[in-house]
Amino acid sequence: MKKNYESYIIFDGNLEDSNIEEFISKYENLLKKNEVDIKNIDRIGRRRLAYAIKKKLNGYYVCFEISSSPDFIAKLERAFKLDENVLRYLNIHIDKKTTLEKDDYLKKKAMIAEKLEEEKRDLAKTETVTEQAAVENQDNKESVKL
């Protein structure tokens, strides 16, 4: 039976972006080859580490949201251990309740962002109309002076 997981990986932050993308695609192919459902790949980005790990101060964070069997997670962790460019990794089992709560949160966040965009557009339209009215009013004043 497949379970939901979040797999966080910290790659060496000193690597080039192209190299990091190669490693991400390498693990993505590993997951696909083992019939794991990839729901999302979140490239969180470069961050300064709180403390040095393997004498590195920067890391590139990636989160894979996957659905797989518990047996495969052990294989995945072994692959992370053997890769010298992986500074740290963490696999978290996500239960259904947490998944539903996260989906609801993301939907609400998207709705709020959409409302803000709509308000910005309305405000921009109002400012444009106000500016046009001000220009027409000024033109009328100039024509009265003549």
Q: Model confidence at 99, in pLDDT bands (50, 70, 90)?
A: confident
Verify that 146 and 88 share a domain, yes or no. no
Query: Taking a C-beta distance cutoff of 8 angstroms, is the pair 6, 54 a contact?
Result: no
Verify that 80 and 100 share a domain, yes or no. no
Verify that 117 and 104 share a domain, yes or no. yes
CA angle 42-12-30, nearest 5°?
55
The range of the structural domain enclosing residue 138 comes to: 96-146
Query: Taking a C-beta distance cutoff of 8 angstroms, is the pair 73, 31 a contact?
Result: no
Verify that 46 and 71 share a domain, yes or no. yes
Tell me the C-alpha distance between 114 and 126, whole Å. 18
Domains of the chain: total: 2
Verify that 53 and 104 share a domain, yes or no. no
- Taking alpha carbons only, the member of 7, 131, 3, 126 closest to residue 65 is 7
Tell me the C-alpha distance between 93 and 5, whole Å. 5
Verify that 33 and 69 share a domain, yes or no. yes
Verify that 74 and 105 share a domain, yes or no. no
The pLDDT tens digits of the residues spanning 71-90 come to: 899 999 999 999 999 999 99
Beta strands in the chain (DSSP E): 3-12, 37-53, 56-68, 86-94
Q: Model confidence at 61, in pLDDT bands (50, 70, 90)?
A: very high
Verify that 22 and 81 share a domain, yes or no. yes
Verify that 11 and 63 share a domain, yes or no. yes
> What's the Cα-to-Cα distance from 92 to each of 3, 59, 77, rounded to whole Å?
10, 19, 12
Verify that 75 and 111 share a domain, yes or no. no
Q: Model confidence at 64, in pLDDT bands (50, 70, 90)?
A: very high
pLDDT score, position 122: 84
Q: Residue 145 corresponds to which amino acid?
A: K
Q: Is the pLDDT of residue 8 over 90?
A: yes
Query: Taking a C-beta distance cutoff of 8 angstroms, is the pair 80, 64 a contact?
Result: no
pTM of the model: 0.70
Verify that 12 and 73 share a domain, yes or no. yes
Verify that 15 and 53 share a domain, yes or no. yes
